[in-house]
């Protein structure tokens, strides 16, 4: 018996190894190509996700920067950064009927006045926002409306709308003038474009007033700006400054106060001011930034043509609020025969007046402020 070795048998029975060439089979080559081809859908998703992440990071950085900037502005007396639609009323610590009002909530106590912070476009030469004071006493006016009503030939109620703080925005001043030529414009002295705007408004037939800066209770925290009159001034200094202010704004027929919660309460200073206004035959409209204003008493003493503000229109710069204030002005005019509203050159005020003024046709007459002043008896 011949015994075969397992190794030899396996060597004959096993299939010879296949020779492999350097070339790959077509199937394998196609598969390799498919693996290398990019997935466009996934790539697009990655791009979109990356853009979204980038936007989120940018917004986060912007919000953080805004918080730091706002904090710095508040410490330096600048504008807060929250929405200007919000407003806050705080009871006054000084006088029971007076409140602090801003279009934006603030944490600091503003004293016994209310300061209005306007939009970023209205700033003085040092780039600080222009402020104005507000004292609401619509239903408790010390002036007897019966004594200030002018004699009229008809029973149609009349309103005067005074636009304060003119001198910083040419475009909106002219847009307001185009709404109704009987609007009255009060120009700040030494404002960047005050004289130029005053000339243009006069050419359109608009009535001009001097928006006279006066010392507020919170000075120097609340700065009335260039040309301001202060209670610390001597009579000669005060009257010299007043003459400069009047000369700065050409063509004015009257005056109303910018701020002034402190100075208007000083009867001696008001008497000094009214001596000049009387000589120049100018009327005075008290903006009523203080419950203790001596404007009426001084006007009565000097037989100066006088009136006072009844409604502030735009304490908050949003259309629904201004619309409500405008309705108050109309209601007040219907009750008393006349009313004076004060607004400011804000876009929201312009848009509201565009809507509301056409509704007054045949019901309410808009007149220049000079037609609603009278000499008190």
Between residues 8 and 288, which one has the greater pLDDT?
288
Per-residue pLDDT tens digits for 196-234: 999 999 999 999 999 999 999 999 899 999 999 999 999
More confident residue, 46 or 338: 338
Q: Can you tell me the distance from the alpha carbon of 180 to that of 350, in angstroms, rounded to the nearest whole number?
A: 11
Distances (CA, A) of 339 to 34, 132, 149, 274, 280: 83, 20, 9, 23, 25
Residue 262 is predicted with a pLDDT of 96
What pLDDT is stored for residue 356 in this prediction? 98
Q: Which of 35-39, 50-54, 122-126, 266-270 has the lowest mean pLDDT?
A: 122-126
Burial-class residue 331 by CB neighbours within 10 Å (0-12, 13-18, 19+). middle
- The alpha carbons of the chain give a radius of gyration, in whole angstroms, of 36
pLDDT confidence of residue 148: 44
How many residues does the structure list for the chain? 377
pLDDT of residue 122: 52
Residue 364 CA to residue 351 CA, distance in Å, equals 19
Average pLDDT over residues 300-325: 96
Task: Convert the pLDDT of each residue in 80-118 to its tens digit.
Answer: 333 333 333 333 333 333 333 333 332 223 333 344 444
* Residue 125: partners with Cβ closer than 8 Å, 6 or more residues away: 192, 226
Class of domain 132-375: alpha beta
**197 vs 119, 132, 160, 164, 208, CA distance in Å?**
19, 20, 20, 13, 10
**For residue 173, what are the CA distances in angstroms to 184, 193, 201, 208, 237?**
11, 11, 8, 12, 32
> In sequence order, what DSSP letters do the residues of 55-124 get, joined into one string?
HHHHHHHHHHHHHHHHHHHHHTT----S-TT--EEEE-SS-TT-EEEESS--SS--TTS-EEP--TT-B-
Average per-residue pLDDT for the chain: 78
What are residue 365's DSSP bridge partners? 158
Residue scoring higher pLDDT (14 or 291)? 291
Q: Which token pair is 291?
A: 């419950």
Residue pLDDT, tens place only, 243-295: 999 999 999 999 999 999 999 999 999 999 999 999 999 999 999 999 999 99
Q: Which of 54-58, 293-297, 319-323 has the lowest mean pLDDT?
A: 54-58
Domain boundaries, the chain: 132-375
Q: What is the pLDDT of residue 50?
A: 83
* Residue 12 confidence (pLDDT): 45
Across residues 290-308, what is the average pLDDT? 96
Q: Are 294 and 324 in contact (CB under 8 A)?
A: no
Q: Is the pLDDT assigned to residue 363 strictly greater than 50?
A: yes
59-80: per-residue pLDDT in tens?
A: 777 777 666 655 554 444 433 3
Q: What is the pLDDT of residue 48?
A: 79
Percent of the chain at pLDDT exceeding 70: 66
In the chain, % of residues over pLDDT 90: 58
Q: CA-CA distance, 339 to 156, in Å (whole number)?
A: 12
pLDDT of residue 60: 79
pLDDT score at 73: 47
Q: How far apart are CA 347 and CA 328, in angstroms?
A: 20
Distance CA 119, CA 104 (A): 11
Is residue 1 over pLDDT 90? no
Residue 32 has pLDDT above 60, yes or no: no
């Amino acid at each position: 018996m011949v015994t075969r070795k397992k190794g030899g048998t396996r060597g004959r029975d096993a299939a010879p190894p296949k020779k492999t060439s350097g070339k790959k089979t077509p199937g394998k080559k196609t598969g390799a190509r498919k693996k290398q081809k990019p997935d466009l859908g996934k790539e697009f998703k990655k791009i979109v996700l990356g853009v979204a992440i980038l936007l989120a990071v940018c917004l986060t950085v912007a919000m953080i920067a805004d918080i730091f900037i706002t904090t710095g502005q508040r410490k330096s007396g600048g504008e807060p950064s929250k929405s200007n639609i919000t407003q806050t009323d705080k009871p006054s610590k000084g006088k029971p009927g007076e409140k602090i009002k801003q279009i934006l909530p603030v944490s600091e106590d503003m004293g016994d006045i209310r300061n209005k912070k306007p939009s970023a476009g209205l700033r003085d030469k040092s780039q600080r926002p222009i402020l104005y004071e507000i004292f609401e006493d619509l239903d408790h006016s010390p002036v007897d409306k019966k004594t200030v009503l002018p004699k009229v030939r008809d029973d149609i109620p009349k309103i005067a709308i005074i636009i304060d703080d003119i001198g910083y925005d040419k475009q909106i001043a002219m847009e307001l003038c185009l709404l109704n030529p009987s609007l009255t414009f009060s120009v700040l002295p030494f404002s960047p474009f005050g004289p130029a705007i005053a000339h243009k408004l006069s050419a359109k037939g608009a009535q001009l007033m001097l928006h006279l800066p006066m010392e507020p209770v919170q000075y120097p925290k609340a700065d009335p700006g260039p040309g301001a009159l202060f209670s610390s001034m001597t009579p000669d200094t005060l009257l010299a400054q007043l003459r400069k202010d009047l000369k700065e704004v050409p063509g004015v027929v009257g005056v109303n106060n910018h701020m002034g919660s402190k100075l208007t309460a000083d009867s001696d200073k008001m008497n000094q001011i009214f001596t000049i206004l009387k000589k120049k035959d100018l009327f005075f409209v008290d903006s009523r930034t203080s419950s203790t204003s001596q404007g009426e008493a001084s006007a009565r003493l000097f037989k100066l043509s006088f009136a006072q503000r009844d409604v502030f229109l735009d304490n908050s710069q949003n259309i629904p609020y201004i619309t409500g204030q405008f309705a108050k002005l109309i209601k007040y005019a219907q009750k008393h025969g006349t009313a004076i509203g004060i607004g400011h050159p804000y876009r929201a005020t312009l848009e509201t007046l565009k809507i509301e003024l056409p509704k007054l046709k045949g019901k309410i007459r808009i007149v220049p402020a000079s037609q609603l002043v009278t000499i008190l008896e």
